[in-house]
Amino acid sequence: MTYLPDVADTDLRRLRATLVARAAADGLLDVAYRTVDSPVGPLLLARTPAGLVRVAFGVQDHEAVLTTLAQQVSPRVLEAPGQLDDAARELDEYFAGRRTAFDLPLDLQLLRGFRRDVVLHLPDIAYGRTASYAQMAGLAGSPRAVRAVGTACALNPLPVVLPCHRVVRSDGTPGQYAGGAAAKLTLLDLETRVGAAA
């Protein structure tokens, strides 16, 4: 038999929506994700029942990030945009300059040890301000661990929401960023502009 009967995309979309709803109702939606457009390119947003667990830039390869989440959190990963409406809305407001802090439940299970200490201190840097890697090392309680701060920022599982873009080099230049140097500049410019207007 050489002919495979067609199945319509509309049928599959409807069935997938039903599956997502039933998975959520049965407590089987361990990782829900969606992508949103932003001034720094498409962002992948992923959450567990506990809260937002991962934000990733396009340059980080969303498919690779999802595969990693399947290994590190749970392979029960489904695209479920409705589960991330709150995160998408807050990010929209942030990029529109109408939000200076995020108010989302976060799941920090991808963070351990010193990286966790660093990332949890990121919101201490006020909107529109910056801190050096050395200052962050001090905030995290290990003033000499400057390089480790750089690593912690580079591996921040929740960029933008936990503002590693506000950590810059001691000479004031932006330095590296998981989303690319241009993305870091875009975020810093946005916050400077909105901060100055406030």
Partner 1 sequence: MTVKQPFERVVVVHGPTVLRVCRAVVGPVDADDAWSETFLAALRAYPDLPADANVEAWLVTIAHRKAIDVVRRAARHAVPVADVPDRVLPPQGRDLDLWAAIAALPTKQRQVVAYHHLGGLPYDDVAALVGGTAAAARRAGSDGVATLRRTYPTIDQEQS
Q: Which of 69, 88, 164, 188 is catalytic?
A: 164
**Site for partner 1 contains 6 (CB under 8 A):** yes
The one among 43, 54, 77, 173 contacting partner 1 by CB under 8 A: 77
What is the rounded (10 degree) CA torsion for 104, 107, 111, 112? 120
Between CA 152 and CA 158 the distance in angstroms is 11
Between CA 59 and CA 61 the distance in angstroms is 5
Q: Decide if 99 contacts 42 (C-beta within 8 A).
A: no
Between residue 13 and residue 72, which ones bind partner 1 under the rule CB under 8 A? 14-16, 18-19, 22-23, 26, 28, 31, 33, 66-67, 69-71
Task: Using alpha carbons, select from 29, 58, 54, 18 the residue that is nearest to residue 41.
Answer: 58
**Site for partner 1 contains 173 (CB under 8 A):** no
**Site for partner 1 contains 82 (CB under 8 A):** no
Output the smallest distance, CB 128 to partner 1, in A: 37
Q: Which residue has the tokens 């960023």?
A: 177
The contact set with partner 1 (CB under 8 A) reads 1-8, 11-12, 14-16, 18-19, 22-23, 26, 28, 31, 33, 66-67, 69-71, 74-79
